[in-house]
Amino acid sequence: MSLARKPKGFMFDLDGTLILSNRSLGNYDAIPGAAEALAELDRLGIPWIALTNGSAYAARVQAPRLRAAGVPVPDDKLFTPNSVAAKVIKDGGYQRVLVLGTQGVVDALTELGVTCYSPAEGADAECDAVYVAWHPDCTMPHLHLACERVLAGAAFLSASDVPFFATKEGRSFGYSCAINGAIARVTGVEPQTTGKPSATAMAVVAEALGIAAEDVGVVGDDATAEMLMARQGGAIGIAVTSGSTSADEWASQPPEKTPHLVIGNIGELVAACGLG
């Protein structure tokens, strides 16, 4: 398998592609070859960014943790669903957002100029959007409040609707996906996701790289997150087997989630794409 055209820039997933964390997101290990691949792209002058569907931390908090683990991602090259959500919230003209997420999620959005409420603060407050993100402490009152707001007409946004992500302890499930399911079941309203595989996320990636979407190599370990985004966005999907999807599983994807190229891990990327 080889690529019909060479990417002019890259978007990297984090979990399963550049790093593996533990389930509580407390510590990270670099995937072998990650630092060398990023350094090689820098040497070649090929632009790259990282876009995680993890929303637990602001980029300025998470990027230093990646660097401490040996993955040299500058703050300004790390994007999260919160970055994309802030743009969606501003573009949509939403004034007050009920956030089902950790303090890290609230901090990230607040820094980006969004007025947020937590369920505890927002029980009596009006809001015109609900944003569901990394929220390990979700309770039934939180779900109740979110459902009431969505039924009253608030927009329903979510960082991620992808069911699983890769960790050192194996496959873990995305809390926002589970919460989205509960709210959607009750309200009949499906969330607009701001992370991968949304078209909004793809547009933010291409803009950040300064290239057309069709020239972006979208590198990741998840069929629904990265490969679906690449296929829907007309980009180049490059799958790795270092995360939650095996080579056999990549070989049996439906066309809309089929990678253009499958490699073992990020360390093989530059050579496999015919660069350098």
* 15 near Mg ion, judged by CB under 5 A: yes
Q: Closest Cα to residue 77, out of 26, 41, 120?
A: 41
Least CB distance from residue 236 to Mg ion, whole Å?
A: 17
Taking CB under 5 A as the binding criterion, the range among 15-23, 118-126, 152-160, 210-218 that sits at the site for Mg ion is 15-23
When the beta carbons of 80 and 129 are compared against Mg ion, the nearer one is: 80
Number of amino acids touching Mg ion (CB under 5 A): 5
259 binds Mg ion (CB under 5 A): no
Is residue 159 near Mg ion by the rule CB under 5 A? Answer: no
List Cα–Cα distances, 17 to 70, 144, 234, in angstroms: 14, 36, 21
Q: Closer CB to Mg ion, residue 83 or residue 167?
A: 167
| 162 near Mg ion, rule: CB under 5 A | no
Determine, following the binding rule CB under 5 A, whether residue 16 of this chain makes contact with Mg ion: yes
Residue among 83 and 224 whose Cβ is closer to Mg ion:
224
Residues 220-249 that bind Mg ion (CB under 5 A): 221-222
Q: What is the smallest separation between the CB atom of 97 and Mg ion, expressed in angstroms?
A: 26
HSE-CB for 275 with a 13 A CA cutoff: 23
Q: Does 7 bind Mg ion (CB under 5 A)?
A: no
Question: Which residue's CB is nearer to Mg ion, number 161 or number 222?
Answer: 222
Residues paired with 263 in a beta bridge: 240
Tell the smallest beta-carbon distance from residue 129 to Mg ion (Å). 26
Check binding of 161 to Mg ion (CB under 5 A): no
Do the beta carbons of residue 173 and residue 206 sit within 8 Å?
no
Task: Round to whole Å and give the CA distance between 261 and 65.
Answer: 29
Cα 270–Cα 159–Cα 142 angle in degrees, nearest 5: 155
Buried b (16+ CB within 10 A) or exposed e, 73-99: beeebbbbbbbbbbbbbeeeebebbbb
- Minimum distance of Mg ion from residue 196's CB (angstroms): 9
> Coil, helix or strand for 233?
helix
CA distance linking residue 116 with residue 131, whole number of Å = 9
Residue 13 near Mg ion by CB under 5 A? yes
- State the residues that interact with Mg ion by CB under 5 A: 13, 15-16, 221-222
